[in-house]
Chains A and B, each alone.
Chain A
Amino acid sequence: MRYFLILFLLLCAFWLLLSGYWDNDLLLAFGAASSLLVAWIGSRLIGADPPRSYPVSIVRITAYSWWLLVEIVKANIDVVKRIWLPKEHPISPCMARLPLSQVSGVAKAAYAQSITLTPGTVAIEVTDDDVEVHALTKEGLDALREGEMDRRVTSVEKGHR
């Protein structure tokens, strides 16, 4: 029920922001009705066992997002160099299983998502205690193996508990 209510309120806010019509009764009613329908379908989908919710530290998530953005820019520049100058910057595709230190499923998903979002590394398979990574270059894989990203995701998660 709590899940249903949160989803319903979020959807209403989302609808209001997207539509931009805040004074037309008919449209507002349509928005409320569709939010209700989607929230009902969503709570049926999730079943009687809603995912555990965590208190969110906006500050930590924002700090991590900025760090990730910088990493994405750096990785993009690296991959673009390897595309246009293959002689000077050759590729060396490789794969490895790397350990991950997060506890909750959400944090593991966030870590795998971050790996894939930076070009040059893709998470192929995620299990409970490791993640299989394909990397465009050995350097990229080694940088990931040093584990800074892993540590940062874990510290965001620890801030939650």
Chain B
Amino acid sequence: MALLLDLLSFAMLLGGVFLGISGAVGVIRFPDFYTRIHAAGVTDTLSAGLILGGLMLQAGLTLVTLKLAFILMFLWITSPVASHALARAAMHSGWHPRLSD
């Protein structure tokens, strides 16, 4: 059982790191600023969720898990606000997106 839990949290940590690297690669290779926001969104949502989830599995039902849940909650509330503020600020200063048609 403990082994299963270890394997599961190992998989979650690895998955989180993989998604984080994917998002970072996307941030580097996507063509314009607005598309890069979407790539950064991957690292902010599921990547963070998987890494913190993997840590939660290791901590079990303790105060530590609660703190990790708080971190995840704050990240998921603040990161969309930051993305939105970023896109809005860019739009307001006249930095237009490159659209496909």
Contact = CB atoms under 8 A, between A and B. Distances in A.
The answer to whether A and B touch in the complex, with CB atoms under 8 Å apart, is yes
B46 A120 contact: no
A80 B88 CA distance: 24
B84 A112 contact: yes
Most-contacted residue by chain B among A82, A93, A95, A136 (CB, 10 A): A93
B80 to A, nearest CB: 4
B77 to A, nearest CB: 8
Contacts of A17: 63, 66, 70
A121 B87 CA distance: 11
B97 A79 contact: no
B91 interface: yes
Contacts of A79: 26, 38-39, 41-42
B26 A134 contact: no
A91 interface: yes
Nearest to B63: A20
A64 to B, nearest CB: 14
Interface in A87-126: 91-95, 112-113, 116-125
Secondary structure class of chain B's binding surface, majority of residues: helix
Given A18-B70, A136-B35, A120 B97 contact: no
Interface string A30-43: 00000000000000
Interface string A11-28: 000000110100000000
Contact of A93 (B34, B77, B81): B34
Interface of B: 19, 22-23, 25-26, 29-30, 32, 34-35, 37-39, 41-42, 45-46, 63, 66-67, 70, 76-77, 79-81, 83-84, 87-88, 91, 97-101
Given A20-B63, A76-B19, A83-B29, 4 more contacts: A79-B26, A80-B22, A113-B80, A116-B80
28 contacts: A20-B63, A72-B45, A76-B42, A79-B38, A79-B42, A80-B19, A83-B22, A83-B23, A83-B29, A83-B39, A83-B42, A92-B101, A93-B34, A93-B35, A93-B98, A93-B100, A95-B99, A113-B77, A116-B83, A117-B45, A119-B39, A120-B41, A122-B37, A122-B38, A122-B41, A134-B34, A134-B37, A138-B100
